[in-house]
A and B are shown apart, each in its own frame.
Chain A
Amino acid sequence: MSAPAGWEAVIGLEVHCELRTATKLFCGCRNEFGAEPNTHVCPVCLGLPGSLPVLSTAAVELAMRIGLALHCEVRPSVFHRKNYFYPDMPKDYQVSQYDEPINVAGYLDLPDGSRVGVERAHIEEDTGKTSHVGDTGRIHGAGYALVDYNRAGVPLVEIVSEPGITSATQARLYASELRAILVASGASDGRMEEGSMRVDANVSVRRVGDLELGTRCEVKNLNSLRSLSRAVDHEIGRQVAIVEGGGRVEQQTRHWDEDRGCTVTLRSKEEAYDYRYFPEPDLVPLAPDAAWVEDVRSSLGPMPADRRRAVVALFGAGGASDARADQVATVVELGLDHLVVAAAGAGIEPALALARTANEAAADAAAAREVDPAAYTALLQMEQRQELSATQAKAVLAELVTGGGAPVEIARRMGFEALAAGSLAEVVAAVVAEHPGEWERFCGGEAKLAGFFTGHVMRRTEGKANGKAVAAELAKLQG
């Protein structure tokens, strides 16, 4: 998924992220998804005459968290009004940061080792939601629209990357890594489906070696990481085809049609819209002092890249193999890496800890994040000491994640525990004593008879024995 031979793509992403505050950016209405229409509204977020905005501390702090997590410089900033008419915008201007944003000049390190620059991450207010009824709004007819202002005034941070992304794969990686950072910093829940993270892509192409940038198109309506990479790929192909066919790419805003798998023109942007930006006179500048910035910085936990490095480091000097890179990325993205680190710290094989976490615990990541790391480690110890088979360990793990408790107890409740404390040795010894002939042949080198003894042990224990543990007992008896 990179540009056709002889071509290179220049991609920049604009990501809007709704902040997880209790209230809206400029008023005390709840910032909450899914309420009845127009129930989280007040004079301020409805833009009623005479109302005035007052900035939320929490929104500023979360914006700073995002900026610091992206290695930005946090600077004094000013709010501007971006003037344009649209019915989802109660004041018919959007309060946003324009030429003096709070965060500038950061970067994002991707799991593949590349680094993408972050131009800025600024604060702005969200709009309300319009639903079209009747016709689509694109053709004449009897349609109309309905507006709900619950989302109007919800705090957003817009993160603008530098146009340094070169492929759909990298674009996807950037968005997914950014999402992990937004979640890890506590700023956002990162849900693309609910629109709490929204991605627009600016795409242009040029021949390899050209210094001048091609004309760019902005692609909107990217509701998942998959849409993002498909849309970018499609757009690169479309633009290359136009230029190779002797045409010129027009500057446009395009809409990704997920069903048809293509981008379609929304509008031509030949004439830039005149937003008449000017400093918002109802708000005063924001100038976080060094102490505040440091407070926020010190309250930030390790970011995904740091955490991936910590997991990889468990594997020693050589690091984790490439084959495990996906597992490392998964546990970090799901916020389960602390379980791996805790288990490995208590002597569990890193490979076992990583595999159980990335494969099994990940199945219910939300619940797994709540699991007590000590209990998790205890379970893996039982597996590593072969007191539990892999199958049994997975079953206990599932129980542990959903219901919690002590793994020993869970294993006992599930009937696994009987064999865990030395009784296996007795059963194996009994089976050997009952079959002296087979035992002699086994000791004489007929290794396949291990299956015979294991089968008997399994029958005797109703399948609760751990196969590897049986083999170990047999080896012990052989001397």
Chain B
Amino acid sequence: MTVGLTPDRAEASAGGAEPLSARALADAVRRGERRASEVVEEHLAAIEAVDGELGCFLTVTADGARRRAAEIDAEVAAGRDPGPLAGVPVAVKDNLCTTGVATTCASRILEGWRPPYDATVVARLAEAGAVMVGKTNLDEFAMGSSTENSAFGPTRNPHDPSRVPGGSSGGSAAAVAAGLAPLALGSDTGGSIRQPAALCGVVGMKPTYGTVSRYGLIAFASSLDQVGPVARSVADAAALFDVIAGHDPRDSTSLVDVPPACGPAVGAGVQGLRVGLVTELTDAQGVDADVRSRVAEAADALAVAGATVDSVSIPELRFALPAYYLLAPAEASSNLSRYDGVRYGLRVDGDDVADMNARTRAAGFGPEVKRRILLGTYALSAGYYDAYYAQAQRVRTVIIQAFARAYERFDVLLAATTPGTAFRLGEKIDDPLAMYLSDVCTIPTNLAGHPAISVPFGTDSAGLPVGVQILAPALGEPVMVAAAAVLERAAPSTPVPRVAAPTLATAGMPAVGGAR
């Protein structure tokens, strides 16, 4: 690709430093213009004011946040730089371990568990000067697409509290959308960052597998899980990614080579970029007409900005969802064996240890987790392994090869993030297959280990946010972010959420994007 815009012009046209952006807050704190304590208090107050209605947080770490903010202010006063995210409140999905702070995975089985260690990403946030304000709600063990599978109650969509925020990182997406934190961490196994980001009208990014450490991320499906940022702008997401990405010797699957910093790529533009519009992830499999229209408009926007856009069919992607629903539950069934009532978490007593295990697990896991454990156990069991698990692994290879062929012709791919917009609470809860179909557009990249980002791009006819997705090959985050930023600038404005922090509501500006 050739770079169409100089970084300076790009930054100006991105209007990247809107007052509530994470970068603007950090800059203000680093320059001593704002105190971290004041920024944190504002956000704690917002949480206090609106989270009763939304249920984004399972734990609010107000005391810890205040202490940390005071430390950061002291550092600034002493002339030291607390780091690129100085004083920025961050919400952390509750499947990331935090020392001494309850980490539940929204499950009864881990209720009250206090890890003795920090996830690597949590430690990296702290080193960058960020302030954790709380732990966000999720579908139990990140299994779900609506955050209704939380043992502690659902999270609601700030744009319409009768609707789901998506999932499983629904708490993180809703918190960012509602202005309760400028940044949040989520995790994405089959779309769990991008799908809720789309439904809540924020930016969600799934990095290349292995670029962000999984150490301290409570495993769902180890070969698919990846931690990533949720933010209100592409530039903020890139800034958070730059902080959390990097090799971690504690994660054997961590890549030694990580992509170059994404922050500088935000303004690079798309001049000459070859964009493939993926038919299977746009037109097929029950994608709503409104969503299809927004994706088509996004394609036009990229073309206007200088990209070459062509349709591409990758028929193999049709098999991603079925393969995923064998691979992910299989890994999960094994990953979740350790919740046996012996060392931590819930115990329900029994006649003997096996009985105790079985009762504990029956009482501690919710229905969706049980379903996936059963499914995964079955897929791995003798007699079915070859037909199910091994075949799904081969299909995974087929999908990787299909992507590789597509990336010979295209630099990035464009797709819908979700087939539809936010659905109503309870609408799909009793139909697992319908729920699983919410992830049909996001799952292929998880199987390939590739990065993808969802950017808000207008609304459906009911005014609910629509997300479009940019997919890139492994380690293609910079070009992916550049394309996403172009879409963000071209996007129709997204409405301010109905339930939101007063600061966000009175800022009189769209929740997303910059000047138009």
Q: Decide if A and B are genuine partners.
A: yes
Interface of B is mostly: loop
Within 8 A of B (CB), among A381-423: none
Is B389 a contact of A278 with CB atoms below 8 Å? yes
On chain A, the number of residues with a Cβ less than 8 Å from chain B's Cβ atoms is 30
Is A274 a contact of B337 with CB atoms below 8 Å? no
Separation of A434 and B105 alpha carbons in the complex (Å): 103
The residue that A48 contacts in the complex, of B217, B223, B252, B344, with Cβ under 8 A, is B344
The residue that A90 contacts in the complex, of B252, B343, B354, with Cβ under 8 A, is B343
The interface-forming segment of A81-89, A350-358, A364-372, A462-470 is: A81-89
What distance in Å separates the Cβ of A95 from its nearest Cβ neighbour in chain B? 11
Is A91 a contact of B252 with CB atoms below 8 Å? no
Report how many A-B pairs have Cβ atoms within 8 Å: 100
Q: Which residues of chain B are near A48, meaning CB under 8 Å?
A: 97, 115-117, 343-344
Within 8 A of B (CB), among A271-296: 272, 274, 276-278, 281-284
Nearest B residue to A88 via CB reads: B342
The interface-forming segment of A49-57, A60-68, A319-327, A329-337 is: A49-57
What distance in Å separates the Cβ of A145 from its nearest Cβ neighbour in chain B? 7
Is B116 a contact of A43 with CB atoms below 8 Å? yes
Is B334 a contact of A284 with CB atoms below 8 Å? no
A119 interface contact, C-beta 8 A:
no
The residue that B110 contacts in the complex, of A49, A92, A93, A147, with Cβ under 8 A, is A49
Residue among A49, A93, A276, A284 with the most chain B CB within 10 A? A49
A164 interface contact, C-beta 8 A:
no
Q: Which residues of chain B are near A85, meaning CB under 8 Å?
A: 337, 340, 354, 357
Q: Which residues of chain A are near B119, meaning CB under 8 Å?
A: 50
What distance in Å separates the Cβ of A28 from its nearest Cβ neighbour in chain B? 10
On chain B, the number of residues with a Cβ less than 8 Å from chain A's Cβ atoms is 44
Separation of A147 and B340 alpha carbons in the complex (Å): 14
A237 interface contact, C-beta 8 A:
no
Interface of A is mostly: loop
A300 interface contact, C-beta 8 A:
no
Known contacts A49-B218, A50-B97, A147-B342; is-contact A282 B116 (Cβ 8 Å): no
Residue among B215, B333, B342 with the most chain A CB within 10 A? B342
Is A54 a contact of B249 with CB atoms below 8 Å? yes
Is A51 a contact of B340 with CB atoms below 8 Å? no
The residue that B250 contacts in the complex, of A54, A87, A277, with Cβ under 8 A, is A54
Q: How does the 8 Å CB contact mask read for B59-98 relative to A, with 1 for contact and 0 for none?
A: 0000000000000000000000000000000000001110
Q: Which residues of chain B are near A83, meaning CB under 8 Å?
A: 333-334, 337, 380
What distance in Å separates the Cβ of A93 from its nearest Cβ neighbour in chain B? 6
A46 interface contact, C-beta 8 A:
yes
Q: Which residues of chain A are near B139, meaning CB under 8 Å?
A: none
What distance in Å separates the Cβ of A7 from its nearest Cβ neighbour in chain B? 34
Separation of A87 and B223 alpha carbons in the complex (Å): 26
Q: How does the 8 Å CB contact mask read for B194-236 relative to A, with 1 for contact and 0 for none?
A: 0000000000000000000011111101110000000000000
Q: Which residues of chain A are near B344, meaning CB under 8 Å?
A: 48-49
The residue that A274 contacts in the complex, of B219, B357, B381, B389, with Cβ under 8 A, is B381
Residue among B116, B218, B357, B380 with the most chain A CB within 10 A? B380
A47 interface contact, C-beta 8 A:
yes
Q: Which residues of chain A are near B116, meaning CB under 8 Å?
A: 43, 48
Q: Which residues of chain A are near B343, meaning CB under 8 Å?
A: 46-48, 90
B338 interface contact, C-beta 8 A:
yes
Nearest B residue to A145 via CB reads: B353
Is A92 a contact of B117 with CB atoms below 8 Å? no
Is B334 a contact of A49 with CB atoms below 8 Å? no
Within 8 A of A (CB), among B367-386: 377, 380-382, 385
Known contacts A43-B116, A282-B222; is-contact A52 B251 (Cβ 8 Å): yes
Q: Which residues of chain A are near B218, meaning CB under 8 Å?
A: 49-50
Q: How does the 8 Å CB contact mask read for A117-158 relative to B, with 1 for contact and 0 for none?
A: 000000000000000000000000000010100000000000
Within 8 A of B (CB), among A221-272: 272
Is A81 a contact of B334 with CB atoms below 8 Å? yes
Known contacts A43-B117, A52-B251, A87-B353; is-contact A276 B334 (Cβ 8 Å): yes
B282 interface contact, C-beta 8 A:
no
Is B337 a contact of A92 with CB atoms below 8 Å? yes
Nearest B residue to A85 via CB reads: B357
29 sampled A-B residue pairs with Cβ under 8 A: A43-B115, A43-B117, A47-B338, A47-B343, A48-B344, A49-B103, A49-B113, A49-B219, A49-B344, A50-B95, A51-B215, A51-B216, A52-B214, A54-B250, A83-B334, A83-B380, A85-B354, A87-B340, A90-B338, A91-B337, A93-B337, A145-B353, A276-B333, A276-B377, A276-B380, A276-B385, A278-B334, A281-B253, A281-B331
Q: Spell out B's residues near A (CB within 8 Å).
A: 95-97, 103, 105, 110, 113, 115-117, 119, 214-219, 221-223, 249-253, 330-331, 333-334, 337-338, 340, 342-344, 353-354, 357, 377, 380-382, 385, 389
Q: Spell out A's residues near B (CB within 8 Å).
A: 43, 46-55, 81, 83, 85, 87, 90-93, 145, 147, 272, 274, 276-278, 281-284
